[in-house]
Amino acid sequence: MRRLSTGLTVFWRSVLLAACALLLAGCGTLNSARMLAPSLSGMEEWRPGLFVEPAMSAAQRQALEQQIALGRAQVERFFGAIVTAPYFVACISFDCARRFGSYGERAAAFGDSAIRLSPDGLQAALVAHEWSHAELYRRVGGWWRISAIPRWFDEGVAVVLADEARHSPANWQEIQRRGLSTPTLDELVTRRDWTEAVRRYGETRAEDPDNLRRVYSTAGHELRGWLACAGREGLAGLLAGVDQGQAFDALYARLGCGGPGRISPAR
Ligand SMILES: [Zn+2]
């Protein structure tokens, strides 16, 4: 009886933890409990851990599988090894993406458990970006510690890893050339900070060629500089240190070239 009760406690704790991770992790506002059991909401588990909208054609499924493999390889190259195995929920209609909690994001990570891909997010770079969030989430100790790292750091690592043209060093130079204002790191610490900045700088539309993605580019620029000093070992050391309860700011300053706040806001 006691064993049964302990088992049930562990079970419910796992459920609650998963729910918390789903609600609190990822890019943007994530609120869909459907991600917990995609099959119950009409998705087809085409491969183990890959849920697709049933209307997805054979060719689309194969293309998706290839993009996930390419994205995974990007993550593996960056970290050296992958410690997470998130399952994927991939939509080819925006209705489907909305049902699973999308507010227009191309992709989103749910803790280290799952990644949702919208019709405009079925790309290796998006897989790599979201998988980076899952890896950091796991490596810093999960839900209990993810808020110990600032959002600009989490997003910056994902930007560098995914290497999208829209967040590239060339794009950063263009932002500087035009003399556009950029957020300070202090304005990008919490999830709420990040969401507000993304709104303030108009980065809410997936396709918007006139928008230079100043928020994501700021995080990417900061991390490129830091990683040039810290390297992969420094990154691993920082994540392990946070996992062990050490303060992020001290680790970041010690392992990098001078700590946060290197970016001067161009206001
Ligand atoms: Zn992100």
- Whole-number Å distance, alpha carbon 74 to ligand 1 midpoint, is 15
Residues 165 and 183 both lie in one domain: yes
Residues 165 and 202 both lie in one domain: yes
- Interval 196-200 mean pLDDT: 96
Residues 249 and 152 both lie in one domain: yes
Structural domain contains residue 266: no
265: CB partners within 8 A, 6+ apart: 181, 182, 183, 184
Determine the residue type at 176. Answer: Q
Residues 7 and 133 both lie in one domain: yes
Q: Cα-Cα-Cα-Cα dihedral of 125, 98, 115, 77, to 10°? A: 0
- Domain containing 219 equals 147-255
Q: How far apart are CA 44 and CA 51, in angstroms?
A: 5
Number of domains in the chain: 2
Last residue of some domain: 74, 109, 139? 139
Q: How far apart are CA 250 and CA 247, in angstroms?
A: 6
- Whole-number Å distance, alpha carbon 130 to ligand 1 midpoint, is 6
User: Global pTM?
Assistant: 0.87
- Whole-number Å distance, alpha carbon 244 to ligand 1 midpoint, is 24
Last residue of some domain: 139, 169, 198? 139
Residues 248 and 171 both lie in one domain: yes
Q: What is the pLDDT of residue 19?
A: 53
Condensed to tens digits (0 to 9), the pLDDT of residues 58-87 reads: 999 999 999 999 999 999 999 999 999 999
What is the token pair recorded at 137? 């989430």
- 19-33, 129-143, 192-206, 217-231: the lowest-pLDDT one: 19-33
Residues 110 and 155 both lie in one domain: no
CB 96 within 8 A of CB 58: no
Residues 101 and 151 both lie in one domain: no
Residues 133 and 6 both lie in one domain: yes
CB 250 within 8 A of CB 149: no
- Whole-number Å distance, alpha carbon 25 to ligand 1 midpoint, is 10
pLDDT at residue 10 greater than cutoff 60:
no
Q: How confident is the model at residue 28 (pLDDT cuts 50, 70, 90)?
A: very low
Q: What is the pLDDT of residue 32?
A: 73
- Say whether 115 sits in a helix, a strand or coil: strand
